[in-house]
Amino acid sequence: MHEKSIKFWGVTVGILGAVSVALGAFAAHTLRDLVEPSRLATFQTGVSYMQFHVAGIAAIVLLMLYAGPVPWLRRAAAFQAVGIVLFTGSLTTLTVTGATWLGAVAPIGGVAFIAGWLSVAVFFSQSHLLRKEV
């Protein structure tokens, strides 16, 4: 079970990382000629947050390799992934389609990002891995 969870999140990191690079390249080479600069900036914000949080999930996977896929780390990875889908997904889709109502979805993704980072904090606050044996 532990290996499957770690493998799942490791594969997820690889896929999300590749998608983030593809989105960045799309913005730089295609989208910049199709949308106004403010909409392009919105797209790039979404991609930047995605890249940062993919790195966060990668760090969580490394913690899982050390500590196992304990509940708070699994929650942290899941919250980060949900944040990517909601925050980045809404901003990139808004930019491409012009559907401004999607801007209301981005804050929900932001809350998921915050919950993910707080889950990491809870993991460390409860972790016995850092205590030295006497």
Question: Domains of the chain: which residue ranges?
Answer: 2-126
Per-residue pLDDT reduced to its tens digit, 59-112: 999 999 988 889 999 999 999 999 999 999 999 999 999 998 998 999 999 999
pLDDT score, position 134 = 43
pLDDT score, position 127 = 80
Say what the pTM is: 0.91
Give percent of the chain above pLDDT 90.
Answer: 81
Helix axes 71-83, 2-29, angle to 10 degrees: 20
- Quickly count: other Cβ atoms within 10 Å of residue 127's Cβ: 15
Residue 50 CA to residue 44 CA, distance in Å, equals 10
Q: Is pLDDT at 129 greater than 90 in this prediction?
A: no
- Count Cβ atoms within 10 A of the Cβ of residue 68 and give its class: 0-12 exposed, 13-18 middle, 19 or more buried: middle
Q: Is pLDDT at 42 greater than 70 in this prediction?
A: yes
| Mean pLDDT confidence for 43-64 | 96
pLDDT score, position 69 = 87
pLDDT score, position 83 = 98
